Amino acid sequence: MKVLIAGGAGYIGSHCVKIMTEQGYDVIVVDNLSTGHREAVKEKLYVGDIRNQAFLDELFQKEKIEAVIHFCAKSLVGVSMTEPLEYFDNNVSGTMVLLQAMAKANVKKIVFSSSAAVYGDHEEMPITEEYLTNPTNPYGETKLMMEKMMKWAEIAHGFKYVSLRYFNVAGAYTDGSIGEDHQPETHLIPIVLQTALGKRDHITVYGNDYNTADGTCVRDYIHVIDLIDAHIRALNYLSSGNISEIFNLGSEDGYSVLEIIEAARAVTGINIKQEIGPRRAGDPAKLIASSEKIGRVLGWKPKFGIKEIIRDAWSFHKKHPEGY
């Protein structure tokens, strides 16, 4: 099956490209390299923007694509608060143009990245797919709009989609050849490991006065390899003629910021320095996914725990101390 991976030069997309290629899928990549890396992709890469209809039309004519996995997005919550229109332009318009090109080319299956950010703040954990969606930032709003666009495109044009609402993605391909390299980096685990490498003096813990066991925020971390396994299952699910669905993608386990730093000390053997700082705006205290639905429908369950997540991310960081 020939699959177009949109955003395949990015952190998660490049893992999808590598793993699907190993599994015998015929994969091609589109990426504008705005946050992706040419070095992360060995397969056929078309450099271009998914908002460019002519570029996509030509691509769909040239390549006999049967399905799309869509990772393209701007995804920094803080920047989305100050530059919301850039986010709507890239994430929402980009998805709209991609769907238009797919409809023209009669390609109707799509798996795409949504986010826990569609839920906003909730007290009761774990979060199921039935929880109210109420994003607290423009980034989450763009993901919710993408889901809604898919729903109406299904009714009008017969698209079938799977939306995967990721919780916190981390880790790297086990040999450390590819991994997470964002500029600037905002995610906890890479920042902790950059501190272990001596690239940063300390890790700042964003607040220790939350209503959690140790006062720091709790998140549900999932290994990028487990995440890609879910995408492949979703693709096969659609190829078997199943209905469109939305799934949470998390492990049902929560770790606090302090627990992550401690786990990284254990994995690296380095005494990573920490300092307590103020809260980061917009951070909910706790985000833990229910993964009951994806387990039941796609037969998915995570194989890796927090130790393996940090071990594999560490292997990437040691091999690429300056990034790609």
Catalytic residues: 139
| Dihedral (CA of 267, 273, 276, 280) sign | negative
**In the structure encoding, which two tokens stand for residue 238, read together?**
């659609």
First CA to last CA distance, the chain: 30
Q: Min. distance of Cβ 283 from ligand UDP in angstroms?
A: 4
Closer residue to ligand NAD in complex, CB, 169/211: 169
CB 221 within 8 A of CB 306: yes
Q: Does residue number 88 form part of the binding site for ligand UDP (CB under 6 A)?
A: no
Q: How far is the CB of 285 from ligand UDP (least distance, A)?
A: 8
Question: CB of residue 202 vs ligand NAD: minimum separation in angstroms?
Answer: 23
If DSSP codes are grouped into helix, strand and coil, which group holds residue 134? coil
Task: Bin 264: left if φ > 0, else alpha if -120 < ψ < 50, else beta.
Answer: alpha
With CB under 5 to 8 Å by kind, the binding choice for 49 among ligand NAD, ligand UDP, none is: ligand NAD
The interface mask with ligand UDP, positions 190-219, x = CB under 6 A, is: -x-----------xxxx----------x-x
Residue 191 interacts with which of ligand UDP, ligand NAD, none, CB < 5 to 8 Å by class: ligand UDP
Contact 160/238 with Cβ under 8 angstroms?
Answer: yes
Cβ atoms 315, 189 nearer than 8 A:
no
| 214 phi and psi angles, rounded to 5 deg | -110, 10
239 is an interface residue for ligand UDP by CB under 6 A: no
Q: How far is 74 from 149, CA to CA, in rounded Å?
A: 18
Report the partner that residue 217 touches, choosing among ligand UDP, ligand NAD, none (CB closer than 5 to 8 A by kind).
Answer: ligand UDP
Separation between Cα atoms, residue 181 and residue 190, nearest integer Å: 8
Which residues in this chain contact ligand NAD in the complex, by CB under 6 A? 7, 9-13, 30-36, 49-51, 71-73, 75, 90, 94, 113, 115, 166, 168-169
- Please, which of residues 243-272 interact with ligand UDP by CB under 6 A? 257
- The residue length of the chain stands at 324
Instruction: Report what 186 binds from ligand UDP, ligand NAD, none; CB cut-off 5-8 Å by kind.
Output: ligand UDP
Binding residues for ligand UDP, rule: CB under 6 A, are 168, 186-188, 191, 203-206, 217, 219, 257, 280, 283
